Amino acid sequence: MSNVRALAAETLYNVVDKGASLNQELPFASQGLSPKDKALLQQICYGVLRYLPSLENYCQQLLDQPLKGKRRIFQFLLYVGIYQLQHMRVPPHAAISETVNALQQMRALGLKGLINAILRSFQREQAELEEKAKQIPVCQYNHPGWFIKHVTAAYPDNWQDILEANQQQAPMWLRVNQAQYSTQEYSDMLKANDIEHSLNADFPDGIKLAKPCDVFSLPEFETGACSVQDAAAQLAARFLDPQDDELILDACAAPGGKTCHILELADADVLALDSDSERLERVKQNLVRIGLAADLQCADASQPHIWWDEKQFDRILLDVPCSATGVIRRHPDIKWLRRASDIEDLAHLQGDILNSIWPLLKPGGTLVYATCSVLPQENQQQVATFLANNSNAEHIPLHENDTPTLPGLQLLPGESDGFYYAKLVKIHS
């Protein structure tokens, strides 16, 4: 039988040291586990990634020297043990014994004494270690220093709220398929099934569940009555405002939530484009479940000369590749996989894609630019530069303080994820 702590240490080592994505590693590590053990593995991996700087700091204090080379993976086993002692309801004796037992599966029984001693030392010195760590900003906020600096500069009044929100578990939001049920009708169906939830007028298609649940326990999920999608992401199709019989491009479409939403709101002809063939398969699966159809194409949005058939689009949703700094609470590995230098590279790529896609829009057509980032370089600054350089682009305000020099709507993580939107219309030329 697999030891969950051993699997967690291996998964975390692959993510933090090898640069693998948690989304890829968790399903692989979870194979053959019971639902209860799968949930435990996920909880430990997410938790360690949320609190990594603090856990590193504690080990630094407790170990004479860090575990390196072939022993490096056991450093992550220590993080797994300490995270359980500090943040989980596992009885301390069980947390320690199960973590030490992981060494059997990891074929390192010789380290039993060391791992046991360090975990017991943490238990004894926990209060003192926590107090020391709080003096170090990276440990106090459990985010990389470069990101704290960026967020503090962009949001001088509420940067701490953003970092705090990133440490919480994200809520589970549903998007109601308006082609099948109104939001109120589906809410009534959830009530009939004793599934606790709430509605929010800012998100007309959204329902927030009081606690996450298995999707197959949701009424008519399998026939497309609803989809799991964060409230902020649900605004993309609403701002796009698709109409029947229009030709619409959903660029960078995977995994397909927004593609499906567009088709739920209008009987349109949609081209869903993505450069990743595996992720494009997810778009197909989502469409099949809901019973919708779109034209799927695997291609690079920044290279339309390779794939575009010269028919201009009525509307374009441009959800560009970004730092994903608005969805850290859902993907805590982002904090450790991203580098400060990535932001400039991504901003260049986003500018290239926006400039390449703009000619594909009809005069009078609408383009919605979207990211799941909270950083101005990828958002307001990107769109403001584009508006300054393109006289045939008209900025459409999404709220009263939305201006061409500070364009768009920035949502911060909290009720919804952190998302950015800007709406542009091509002036007849």
Q: Which two tokens stand for residue 383?
A: 């769109």
Q: Name the strand (E) or helix (H) holding 67.
A: none
Q: pLDDT tens for residues 3-53?
A: 999 999 999 999 999 999 999 999 999 999 999 999 999 999 999 999 999
**By three-state DSSP, how is residue 294 classified?**
coil
**By three-state DSSP, how is residue 334 classified?**
helix
Query: Is pLDDT above 80 for 195?
Result: yes
Other beta carbons within 10 Å of 94: 11
Average pLDDT value over all residues in the chain: 96
Distances (CA, A) of 380 to 270, 377, 389, 407, 421: 27, 7, 14, 5, 9
Query: Is pLDDT above 70 for 351?
Result: yes
- Alpha helices for 88-222 (secondary structure H): 92-105, 112-133, 137-141, 145-154, 159-166, 183-192
pLDDT band at 2 (very low <50, low <70, confident <90, very high): confident
Q: Residue 1: what pLDDT?
A: 65
* Catalytic hit among 139, 226, 252, 372: 372
Q: pLDDT tens for residues 250-294?
A: 999 999 999 999 999 999 999 999 999 999 999 999 999 999 999
- The answer to whether 338 touches 323, Cβ cutoff 8 Å, is yes
Q: Which two tokens stand for residue 189?
A: 């169906």
372 belongs to the catalytic site: yes
Q: Residue 428: what pLDDT?
A: 76
Going through 320-418 in order, the beta strands assigned E by DSSP cover 361-371, 393-396, 409-411
Show Cβ contacts of residue 411 under 8 Å, excluding neighbours closer than 6 positions: 232, 235, 326, 417, 418, 419, 420
Q: Residue 397: what pLDDT?
A: 98
CA angle 247, 251, 253 (to 5 degrees): 105
In whole angstroms, what is the distance from residue 371 CA to residue 120 CA? 45
Distances (CA, A) of 163 to 231, 264, 338: 20, 35, 16
Closest CA to 233 of 270, 265, 258: 258
pLDDT band at 297 (very low <50, low <70, confident <90, very high): very high
- DSSP tag of 65: S
Distances (CA, A) of 386 to 67, 79, 253, 348: 49, 45, 22, 12
pLDDT band at 429 (very low <50, low <70, confident <90, very high): low
Average pLDDT over residues 392-416: 97
Closest CA to 170 of 335, 331, 410: 331
Q: Note the pTM of the prediction, 2 decimals.
A: 0.95
Average pLDDT over residues 298-312: 95
